[in-house]
Amino acid sequence: MNQRELFLKHVAQTSPAPLGIEVARASGAWLYDTNGKAYLDLIGGISVCNMGHCHPAVVSAIKKQADDYLHVLVYGEFIQSPQVQYARLLAENLPSSLNSVYFTNSGAEATEGAMKLAKRATGRTQIIAFKNAYHGSTQGALSVMGDEYWRNAFRPLLPDVLHLDYNSFESLSFITARTACVIAETVQAESGIYAPSPEWLQALRQRCSETGALLVLDEIQAGFGRTGTRWGFEQLGVVPDILLLGKALGGGMPLGAFIADRPLMGALAENPVLGHITTFGGHPVCCAAGMAGFKALLEEGWLQEVKAKEQLFRRLLVHPAIKTVRSFGLWMAVEFDSFDTNKKIIDAALEAGVLTDWFLFAPQCMRIAPPLVISEAEIQAACKTIVSAIDPAGRT
């Protein structure tokens, strides 16, 4: 059997039509398959590879850490320099109340940890989330996912969860003294890049403070420069009680985190102790890689280029079949009339060597979230390919 047949036979599939590109190597904004075909990657592992594939500093940090030690003991027992130094670097780049980092394996585990922390710290049970939200695929995270189609088959899920309209002032009165936490994406991703108004997010912050509900902001996709600043909330004038990070946090290695003020985080350390347990969360190699990636983001000037690159995409992605482009940094949804149209264009672009995707709750929208290191020339080439993929694919 060849590799593709083995993939289909032995690697569990959850979709009838996997993309099936056989990856040989990846570098910067490029992927290469085993036939030598190059793909310009406009999705970067779904907002993971913000510093591009195999950034040299990330690769060398991984190699160095692998030479020193790999896994040594479950989370939180030993003092491991990559964890300690990365937690410090994160805290130095966050508001002072976000100073205690619990590293996890994934974004979904960060969501789980934050919901547990909120219940434990407030003694309340109600969790409020928003329609069209995505916070992960474990059963707790699925419970706060804002789409009944994707949730329903897995019921029963967590009780006492309420879904409200995002960016709606009417929603805010449902947050009460019963609410343990409100969990929101700073910018909704899977609904097709919807940013809230700063006024609404600030009102949400205020309502949470008034009622004692904790505000959990999910920046698992928004973080690490995707929006043009380190964190999306910096542009919207709020500070959450608990911040969720993942994806680019690990620089291409698996890593998540929930971050809070130290006294708040202390609620997981008593009655019972070990309020959240993870074997591999904060793996030293992942922390070393993530820290190298974050340092590259801070030191190499990529943040300053995000807005100009966003504008370049917007200037070039013009065609009558494109209904609208919503963006917030190098993070955009290009909307067509239907999933069918979108999928044909995605497939035609892929054939021509440009990798894009659609969104879970917005299948009519093309996802563009490239590595932030993508160059202007690469953006020009990618947009040319996408626009010319529209016509042969039969759009009006």
Question: Does residue number 189 form part of the binding site for ligand PLP (CB under 6 A)?
Answer: yes
Query: For residues 130 and 321, which CB has a smaller minimum distance to ligand PLP in the complex?
Result: 130
Question: Does residue number 220 form part of the binding site for ligand PLP (CB under 6 A)?
Answer: yes
Query: Pick from 82, 136, 223, 282: which binds ligand PLP (CB under 6 A)?
Result: 136
Query: For residues 223 and 284, which CB has a smaller minimum distance to ligand PLP in the complex?
Result: 223
Question: Does residue number 359 form part of the binding site for ligand PLP (CB under 6 A)?
Answer: no
Question: Does residue number 112 form part of the binding site for ligand PLP (CB under 6 A)?
Answer: no
How far CA 215 is from CA of 127, 175, 352, in Å, comes to 10, 11, 44
Summary count for the chain: helices (H), strands (E): 13, 15
Question: Does residue number 356 form part of the binding site for ligand PLP (CB under 6 A)?
Answer: no
Task: Give the integer Cα–Cα distance in Å for 217 and 50.
Answer: 20
Q: What angle do CA 234, 238, 243 make, to 5 degrees?
A: 80
Residues in 228-257 that interact with ligand PLP by CB under 6 A: 246, 256
For tokens 């890593």, name the residue: 255
Contact 85, 282 (CB under 8 A): no
- Sheet-wide strand order for 362-368: 324-327, 332-335, 362-368, 357-359
**Cβ neighbours around 56 below 10 Å, total:** 12
Query: Pick from 40, 61, 108, 204: which binds ligand PLP (CB under 6 A)?
Result: 108
Task: Give the integer Cα–Cα distance in Å for 174 and 188.
Answer: 20
Query: Pick from 185, 241, 305, 310: which binds ligand PLP (CB under 6 A)?
Result: 185
Question: Does residue number 134 form part of the binding site for ligand PLP (CB under 6 A)?
Answer: yes
Query: For residues 188 and 341, which CB has a smaller minimum distance to ligand PLP in the complex?
Result: 188
**Sequence-distant (≥ 6) Cβ neighbours of residue 210 within 8 angstroms:** none
Quickly list H helices, the chain.
3-10, 44-47, 56-68, 81-92, 107-122, 139-143, 148-151, 198-211, 262-265, 284-299, 302-316, 339-351, 376-390
Question: Does residue number 291 form part of the binding site for ligand PLP (CB under 6 A)?
Answer: no
Select the span of 65-73, 132-140, 200-208, 363-371 touching ligand PLP (CB under 6 A).
132-140
Query: For residues 253 and 334, which CB has a smaller minimum distance to ligand PLP in the complex?
Result: 253
How near is the Cβ of 190 to ligand PLP at its closest, in Å?
7
Positions in the binding site for ligand PLP (CB under 6 A)? 46, 106-108, 111, 134-136, 185, 189, 218, 220-221, 246, 256
